[in-house]
Amino acid sequence: MRRLVLYGLTIFMFLGCSRETVKVSSALFKDAAVNSKYDYLIAEAIRQKYVGKADQAVALFEKCIEIDKNRSVPYFELAQAYAKMGDSDKAIRYASRAANLDRNNYWYQMACGSLFVQYEEKDSALVYFQRALYASPKAMEVNTILAGLYSEKGDISKADSLFMILDRAGALNEQMFLVMISGMISNKAYTAAAERTRALINRFPEEVKYKALLANIYSEAGEGEKSDSIYSRIIEDDPNNAESQMLVLINLVSKKKYEGVSVFLGSVIKSQVIDRERKVALVSELNRDSAYIVSQNKTLEASLLLLEEDYPDDEEVLSIRPEMYEKLGMTGKAIGRYEEILSKVPKGYFFKERLILLYAGSEEYEKLYNLASAYSSENNRSIIGKVYYAIAAMELGKYDVADSELNKALILAGNDKQLKLQVLSMLGELKYRMKDFEEAYKYMEKALIIDPDNIMLLNNYSYFLAENDRELQKALKMTEKVIAKDSNNATYLDTYAWVLYKSGKIKEAYGVMRKIFEKSEENDPEILEHMGFILKTMSKCNEAVNYWRMALEGDSSKEYLKKEIELCGGEKQE
């Protein structure tokens, strides 16, 4: 909370002082010592800045510095420009230079301090804010910021003196008071925090939230009984007050007393006193608590249904319930809810993305194909749409569509190495399925240039090579590299064994396969099939037939195994 308060105030100060800069600049232009070239360049630079030509403005401000390194204006203007561009190093460097050249300029000191706060250099920020205070002792803004910074650092006495100045000036609002108390709690000054809060309660005895704050201070101080006593009195004094219920509910959640939450949750959600933002924040917090949703998901579900009734078109509200289903592993319910939402909220891009991922995870490729196709068209620059459209097309045998979408995705990936790696790997797999093996290998090689140690890529590439009896030594080196990094993955072990088998190293291949089956009861049809072929080569036909039969049970499309079973002396398969 403190960080948000400080950040908001200081950024406003930095970005909000441009007009004052123009005033300073105008005043400086009148100085008789300013030569005409500098005068022209600074005026033109500011003009370029205000017409939105940032690059031209930056170049002109830099030329001003070349002419005269002791003028603060161009440094300050460059600091603002680089801050907007996200170049923190240059922004701080130029702001510091401007502030040091003109130490009595309140705006420069505030701007420089705000940048240091933004970039988490609080000690440096203090220097410039103190200068700003010296330049303008009565400015409430800098008093507020310094009070917050000292509070955060744990310098309670300095923070307190500034908060008192603000209080006497009538400028100590609720947000600043909470910053003060938060700083005290962070530094374990519980007695002082409690004393200040009790004084506030005496001033505003009807404000229940201050009583809750006092209860929280006691809780932080380890005085649980005092804390619980205050919350009990809060609800006893006005059991039907929604604000009181909300505060007690938040306390119960923080203490993981989930059973009590259901007593108040429905009432709080129905309340017209509690605004939409607080309701959404509450249920979102509950939805993030995995222990709560496991034990109390029915209560939360009922409350979310009530919230949806009040906000039927609110996409943030609508997203919470299916998200809960996802977290609980209720994929079917999540899919059903997202489909229901999209029937009422046609655009719903967030819901479409979630549904795309769930369709893919559930291998519902027809639905994925239709949704990702439409989404890809609606969002032509979305790489997610292209990739998942391609995945669905591949699984449905629509290879031309997959090829087209993946090539579009490759363009959209731009210079993002990880995205390019994934798309190139997928193109390699696609070309392999299309039996365009040379192209498949080319894409795999391109992907390896980006990440030569990617074990999934190495595994897949070596398997493709082994399947076609190509470059088996190269394939073997790649699989050995994979196993050196992960010797427990059944898929990687299977590939390693298959490459050994294809290389004629049958006993070694069998030894690797044994490890897979010793670790678990493997039922992957591909692995079962491979074990069968290895056993057949070792003249263990009866065992081979057993593995092939299990592979057929898992994947009936492996029709060719029926012939292998017959040739190996097994009964003819229907």
Confidence at residue 29, expressed as pLDDT on a 0 to 100 scale:
38
Q: Is 238 left (phi over 0), alpha (psi -120 to 50) or beta?
A: beta
> Of all residues in the chain, what percent carry a pLDDT higher than 70?
91
The pLDDT of 484-503, averaged and rounded, is 94
In a domain? residue 155: yes
Confidence at residue 571, expressed as pLDDT on a 0 to 100 scale:
57
In a domain? residue 449: no
Cβ 166 vs Cβ 140: under 8 Å: yes
10 plus 82 within the same structural domain: yes
What is the three-class DSSP state of 109?
Answer: helix
87 plus 150 within the same structural domain: no
Q: Which domain holds residue 105?
A: 1-136
Interval 29-53: pLDDT, tens: 344 444 678 888 888 888 888 888 8
53 plus 76 within the same structural domain: yes
Tell me, what amino acid is at 490? A
pTM > 0.75: yes or no: no
Cβ 519 vs Cβ 490: under 8 Å: yes
Q: What is the mean pLDDT of the chain?
A: 85
Cβ 425 vs Cβ 460: under 8 Å: yes
Q: pLDDT band at 489, cuts 50/70/90?
A: very high
Q: pLDDT band at 572, cuts 50/70/90?
A: low
Q: Identify the domain boundary among 115, 148, 179.
A: 179
Q: Give the range among 242-246, 380-384, 390-394, 456-460 with minimum mean pLDDT.
A: 242-246
19 plus 46 within the same structural domain: yes
Q: Give the range among 94-98, 296-300, 390-394, 541-545 with minimum mean pLDDT.
A: 94-98
CA dist 115 and 86 (Å) reads: 11
16 plus 80 within the same structural domain: yes
**End-to-end CA gap in the chain:** 70
Residue in 287, 208, 275, 308 with CA at minimum distance from that of residue 248: 208
CA dist 242 and 264 (Å) reads: 9
Rounded to 5 degrees, what angle do the CA atoms 393, 399, 404 make? 85
What is the three-class DSSP state of 180?
Answer: helix
Cβ 323 vs Cβ 357: under 8 Å: no
Interval 432-447: pLDDT, tens: 999 999 999 999 999 9
- 15 has pLDDT over 80: no
The pLDDT of 101-114, averaged and rounded, is 85
In a domain? residue 431: no
Cβ 388 vs Cβ 372: under 8 Å: yes
- 12 has pLDDT over 50: no
40 plus 74 within the same structural domain: yes
Cβ 428 vs Cβ 441: under 8 Å: yes
Q: pLDDT band at 549, cuts 50/70/90?
A: very high
CA dist 551 and 573 (Å) reads: 13
Confidence at residue 164, expressed as pLDDT on a 0 to 100 scale:
73
What is the three-class DSSP state of 346?
Answer: coil
Q: pLDDT band at 570, cuts 50/70/90?
A: low
Interval 178-226: pLDDT, tens: 777 777 777 788 888 888 888 888 878 888 888 888 888 888 888 888 8
Residue 527: is it exposed, middle or buried by C-beta count within 10 angstroms (0-12/13-18/19+)? buried
- 452 has pLDDT over 70: yes
Cβ 293 vs Cβ 256: under 8 Å: no
- 454 has pLDDT over 60: yes
Confidence at residue 456, expressed as pLDDT on a 0 to 100 scale:
94
42 plus 82 within the same structural domain: yes
Confidence at residue 171, expressed as pLDDT on a 0 to 100 scale:
62
- Which residues lie below 8 Å from residue 259, measured CB to CB, with a gap of 6+? 296
Q: pLDDT band at 172, cuts 50/70/90?
A: low
Confidence at residue 228, expressed as pLDDT on a 0 to 100 scale:
84
Q: Give the range among 18-32, 156-170, 335-349 with minimum mean pLDDT.
A: 18-32
DSSP string, 69-107: TT-HHHHHHHHHHHHHHT-HHHHHHHHHHHHHH-TT-HH
Tally of helices (H runs) and strands (E runs) in the chain: 33, 0
The pLDDT of 109-124, averaged and rounded, is 81
Confidence at residue 131, expressed as pLDDT on a 0 to 100 scale:
86
In a domain? residue 496: no
Q: Give the range among 149-163, 404-418, 546-560 with minimum mean pLDDT.
A: 149-163
121 plus 51 within the same structural domain: yes
Q: Is 539 left (phi over 0), alpha (psi -120 to 50) or beta?
A: left
Q: Give the range among 22-31, 152-161, 469-478, 564-573 with minimum mean pLDDT.
A: 22-31
Confidence at residue 42, expressed as pLDDT on a 0 to 100 scale:
85
Cβ 212 vs Cβ 202: under 8 Å: no
Residue 316: Cβ within 10 Å count: 12
Token pair for residue 396?
Answer: 């449905």
Q: Give the range among 149-163, 292-306, 311-325, 470-484 with minimum mean pLDDT.
A: 149-163
How many domains in the chain? 2
Rounded to 5 degrees, what angle do the CA atoms 174, 179, 181 make? 90
Q: Is 104 left (phi over 0), alpha (psi -120 to 50) or beta?
A: alpha
DSSP state of 457: H
Q: Identify the domain boundary among 77, 109, 136.
A: 136
- 89 has pLDDT over 90: no
In a domain? residue 129: yes
Cβ 386 vs Cβ 406: under 8 Å: yes
Confidence at residue 105, expressed as pLDDT on a 0 to 100 scale:
87
Q: Identify the domain boundary among 83, 117, 136.
A: 136
Measured over the CA atoms of residue 269, residue 349, residue 288 and residue 363, the dihedral's sign is positive
Interval 345-364: pLDDT, tens: 888 899 999 999 999 999 99
Residue in 140, 130, 194 with CA at minimum distance from that of residue 167: 140
Torsion angle in degrees (nearest 10) through CA of 281, 284, 288, 289: 80
Q: Give the range among 76-85, 102-111, 319-328, 565-574 with minimum mean pLDDT.
A: 565-574
In a domain? residue 157: yes
65 plus 175 within the same structural domain: no
159 plus 114 within the same structural domain: no
> Where is mean pLDDT largest: 11-15, 21-25, 249-253?
249-253
In a domain? residue 534: no
Helices (H), 362-454: 365-378, 383-395, 399-413, 417-433, 437-450
- Which residues lie below 8 Å from residue 253, measured CB to CB, with a gap of 6+? 261, 285, 286, 289, 292
Cβ 185 vs Cβ 198: under 8 Å: no
107 plus 161 within the same structural domain: no
Q: pLDDT band at 381, cuts 50/70/90?
A: confident
CA dist 140 and 136 (Å) reads: 9
For residue 62, give the CATH number of its domain. Answer: 1.25.40.10
CA dist 150 and 140 (Å) reads: 15
Interval 310-335: pLDDT, tens: 999 999 999 999 999 999 999 999 99
> Where is mean pLDDT largest: 154-168, 393-407, 516-530?
393-407
- 497 has pLDDT over 80: yes
- 28 has pLDDT over 50: no
Confidence at residue 20, expressed as pLDDT on a 0 to 100 scale:
39
CA dist 53 and 78 (Å) reads: 13
Residue in 250, 332, 267, 261 with CA at minimum distance from that of residue 306: 267
Interval 392-411: pLDDT, tens: 999 999 999 999 999 999 99
The pLDDT of 277-296, averaged and rounded, is 91
146 plus 130 within the same structural domain: no
In a domain? residue 92: yes
Angle at which helices 315-327 and 276-288 pack, to 10 degrees? 10
